[in-house]
A and B are shown apart, each in its own frame.
Chain A
């Protein structure tokens, strides 16, 4: 399945909406096992993306992702800045010659792994990104799937990121970065009309 500029623009706008609506949910999740600012940081990123897109309408998919990446890198502040920023920057490079959605998300997922030196089962956003990109590659992704990926982080013990300092105590809480990633992919499914 390919993604058009129009669909991707809708996707990003829906993501911005979800981040603005769920700022306190993300902060609460992050208070349990982090420093409590994931919602605030992502909301700041969302507003920066909105501002950048209002200033200049991207001409193609690559430019859209680049605009998103730079807004996030400059404004988010926390660890999610370089992580989401790298994902969108790598997707922007890939989108110059590729519009297949599964491939793009796969490249984004690999970017996050490289930046965070992380992989699945570490209780990070990769636990949503990695299975999502695989499901897309198999041509089937539903909101229920995304929700399952998110929920799988609950019983994991964190071995990367701030939550890893809590060791066993990180168990029993959803990973905040996985929750914001779930918003991202819910928004994607809505934009693609699924």
Chain B
């Protein structure tokens, strides 16, 4: 089992920033991200989200998002794909960082999820 992490944000800068941050904690994990609309405005793009998942090298994909329409687009994508995606309703930065740290040391999914449960905010 190979983990991958996917970051989704309304803001291209937040998505890229969270990626940069958690990459430090997980240099060997595939981390991809989608931020903003097609035109890099604030918003969410299903096409970008699709690309972030398809580009990811992991086979168990842990997905983190920020606001409403990122979540809705993510859920719409999950209905359309066969990829193994796990969506977490947790604080974006802290959740992604926690998952990255634990994925890097190959923790079992159950224990990653146990740690993430404490960060559930939505």
Which A residues have a C-beta under 8 Å from some C-beta of B?
Answer: 41, 73-75, 77-79, 81-83, 85-86, 115-116, 161-162
Which B residues have a C-beta under 8 Å from some C-beta of A?
Answer: 37-38, 41, 43-47, 67-69, 72-73, 75-76
**Structural contact, A73 and B69, CB atoms closer than 8 A:** no
**Structural contact, B47 and A81, CB atoms closer than 8 A:** no
Chain B nearest Cβ from A189, distance in angstroms = 28
A85 and B68 in contact, given A77-B43, A78-B43 (Cβ under 8 angstroms): no
Question: Of B45, B46, B47, B72, which contacts A115 at CB under 8 A?
Answer: B72
Can you show 24 pairs from A to B with CB atoms below 8 A apart? A73-B46, A74-B38, A74-B46, A74-B47, A75-B38, A77-B41, A77-B45, A77-B69, A78-B43, A78-B69, A79-B68, A81-B44, A81-B46, A81-B72, A82-B69, A82-B73, A82-B75, A82-B76, A83-B72, A85-B76, A86-B72, A115-B72, A115-B75, A116-B72
A85's nearest neighbour on chain B, judged by CB, is B76
Known: A77-B37, A82-B46, A83-B72. 11 other contacts (CB 8 A): A73-B46, A77-B69, A79-B68, A79-B72, A82-B72, A82-B73, A82-B76, A85-B46, A86-B76, A115-B76, A162-B68
